[in-house]
Structure 1
Amino acid sequence: MKVLFLCSNLNNTGGTERVGSIIANNLSDSGYDIFFASLMGGDQPVFPINENIKTLSLFSSPGKALFRTPLIIHRLRQVIKDNDIDVLIVIESMLVLFTLPAVLGLPVKHICWEHFNFNSDLGRKGRRLARQLAARYCDSIVTLTERDKKYWLANTKHNSQITAIANPCPFSVQTSQYNSKSKIVLSVGRLAPQKGFDLLLIAWSEVIKLAPDWKLKIVGDGENKAELSAFILDNNLTSSVELVGKTNNIEEYYNNAAIYCLSSRFEGFPMVLLETLSFGLPVVSFDCDTGPEEVLENTGSILVEANDTHSLSIALAKLIKDESLRESISIKSKAKAIEYQPHAIIEHWKKLLEEL
Structure 2
Amino acid sequence: MAGAERMTATIANALAELGHDVTILSLWDTASQFRLHPRIRHEALFAQRPSFRRAYLATVAGIRRHCATHRIDVLVQVDTMLALFVLPATVGLGLHHIAWEHCHFDEDLGKPARKVARRLAARFCRQVVVLTERDRLRWLEALRPRSEVACIPNPLPFPMPAESAPRTQKTVLAMGRLVAAKGFDVLLHAWQRVAAQEPGWQLVIHGEGEERPALTALVGKLQLEDRVSLPGVCHDPAQAYGRASVFCLSSRYEGFGLVLIEAMAFGLPVVSTDCETGPRELLAPGQDALVVATDDADALAKALLTVIRQPEMASRLAAGGRQKASEFTLERLALQWHALVEAPPASAAR
Report the TM-score when normalising by structure 2.
0.89
- 1:69 alignment partner in structure 2: 56
Deviation at 1:19, TM superposition (A): 1.2
After superposition, give the CA deviation of every residue in 1:112-164 in whole Å (9 maximum; x if it has no partner). Answer: 00111222211212211111111111111111111222222222241111111
Structure 1 residue matching 2:42: 3-state secondary structure: strand
- 1:8 alignment partner in structure 2: none
- 2:269 alignment partner in structure 1: 282
153-162 or 63-72: bigger deviation: 63-72
In the superposition, relative to structure 1, how do residues 108 and 330 fare at CA in structure 2: closer, same or farther (>3 Å)? same
In the superposition, relative to structure 1, how do residues 49 and 235 fare at CA in structure 2: closer, same or farther (>3 Å)? closer
Deviation at 1:61, TM superposition (A): 3.8
Q: 1:58 touches 1:75 (CA, 8 Å); kept in 2?
A: yes
Aligned match for 1:316, one of 304, 312, 319: 304
Aligned match for 2:149, one of 148, 159, 162: 162
Aligned ranges 1:223-242 → 2 under 5 Å: 223-242=210-229
Q: 2:234 touches 2:240 (CA, 8 Å); kept in 1?
A: no
After superposition, give the CA deviation of every residue in 1:61-110 in whole Å (9 maximum; x if it has no partner). Answer: 43222222223223322332343322111011111111111222222111
Letter in structure 2 aligned against 1:241: V
Q: 1:132 touches 1:157 (CA, 8 Å); kept in 2?
A: no
CA RMSD of aligned residues (A): 2.2
- Using the alignment, how far apart are the partners of 1:19 and 1:220 within structure 2? 17
The answer to whether 1:301 aligns with 2:286 is no
The answer to whether 1:55 aligns with 2:42 is yes
- 1:338 alignment partner in structure 2: 326
In the superposition, relative to structure 1, how do residues 45 and 182 fare at CA in structure 2: closer, same or farther (>3 Å)? closer
Aligned match for 1:184, one of 158, 162, 171: 171
- 1:258 alignment partner in structure 2: 245
Deviation at 1:302, TM superposition (A): 1.2
Aligned match for 2:201, one of 214, 220, 228: 214
Q: Which runs of 5+ in 1 are unaligned?
A: 1-12
Letter in structure 2 aligned against 1:349: W
- 1:326 alignment partner in structure 2: 314
Letter in structure 1 aligned against 2:195: I
- Using the alignment, how far apart are the partners of 1:183 and 1:240 within structure 2? 11
Structure 2 residue matching 1:74: 3-state secondary structure: helix
The answer to whether 1:150 aligns with 2:151 is no
Letter in structure 2 aligned against 1:346: A
- Using the alignment, how far apart are the partners of 2:36 and 2:92 within structure 1? 31
Letter in structure 2 aligned against 1:330: A
In the superposition, relative to structure 1, how do residues 288 and 173 fare at CA in structure 2: closer, same or farther (>3 Å)? same
Q: Percent identity?
A: 37
- Using the alignment, how far apart are the partners of 1:88 and 1:231 within structure 2? 44
Aligned match for 1:101, one of 88, 113, 130: 88
Aligned match for 2:185, one of 185, 198, 207: 198
Q: 2:178 touches 2:208 (CA, 8 Å); kept in 1?
A: yes
After superposition, give the CA deviation of every residue in 1:281-330 in whole Å (9 maximum; x if it has no partner). Answer: 11000011321123334852111122222222221121111111212222
In the superposition, relative to structure 1, how do residues 329 and 159 fare at CA in structure 2: closer, same or farther (>3 Å)? same
Structure 1 residue matching 2:214: 3-state secondary structure: helix
Aligned match for 1:23, one of 11, 30, 33: 11
Letter in structure 2 aligned against 1:101: P
Deviation at 1:209, TM superposition (A): 4.0
- Using the alignment, how far apart are the partners of 1:223 and 1:69 within structure 2? 27
Q: 1:267 touches 1:288 (CA, 8 Å); kept in 2?
A: yes
Aligned residues: 343
Aligned ranges 1:243-254 → 2 under 5 Å: 243-254=230-241
- Using the alignment, how far apart are the partners of 2:216 and 2:28 within structure 1? 37
Report the TM-score when normalising by structure 1.
0.88
Deviation at 1:247, TM superposition (A): 4.3
Letter in structure 1 aligned against 2:230: L
